[in-house]
Amino acid sequence: MTEDLLPDRILPIAEVVQMTGLSEATIWRELKAGRFPQPRMISPRRRGWLLSELLTWIASRRPRSR
């Protein structure tokens, strides 16, 4: 099965930290500066990030080969 056929997941901050290697503080700082994908509201006190948006963001940060 390819990634395109998998349903999108909403990831909590702990998984975002693990996936990106960034600290929570850095994620929130980058988010505030407009350089990180916006989270979705899961409930009034919980936010999460779409896996597809994080994968796109990570891919955009990889150095491109010549």
Tell me the HSE value of 60 on the side-chain side, using a 13 A CA sphere: 9
> How much is the pLDDT for 7?
72
Q: Is residue 22 part of a domain?
A: yes
> How much is the pLDDT for 6?
64
What are the b/e assignments for 9-37, b being 16+ CB within 10 Å?
A: eebeeeebeeebeeeeeebeeeeeeeebb
Q: Is residue 66 part of a domain?
A: no
Task: List the pLDDT tens digit at each of the 66 positions of the chain.
Answer: 455 666 789 999 999 999 999 999 999 999 999 999 999 999 999 999 999 999 999 999 877 666
Alpha-carbon 25 to chain mean position:
14
Rounded Cα distance between 43 and 40, Å, is 9
Range of the domain at 25: 3-61
Q: Is residue 41 part of a domain?
A: yes
Q: Is residue 35 part of a domain?
A: yes
Q: How many residues appear in the chain?
A: 66
Number of domains in the chain: 1
Q: What is the pTM of this model?
A: 0.80
Neighbours of 49 (CB within 10 A): 24
> How much is the pLDDT for 62?
77
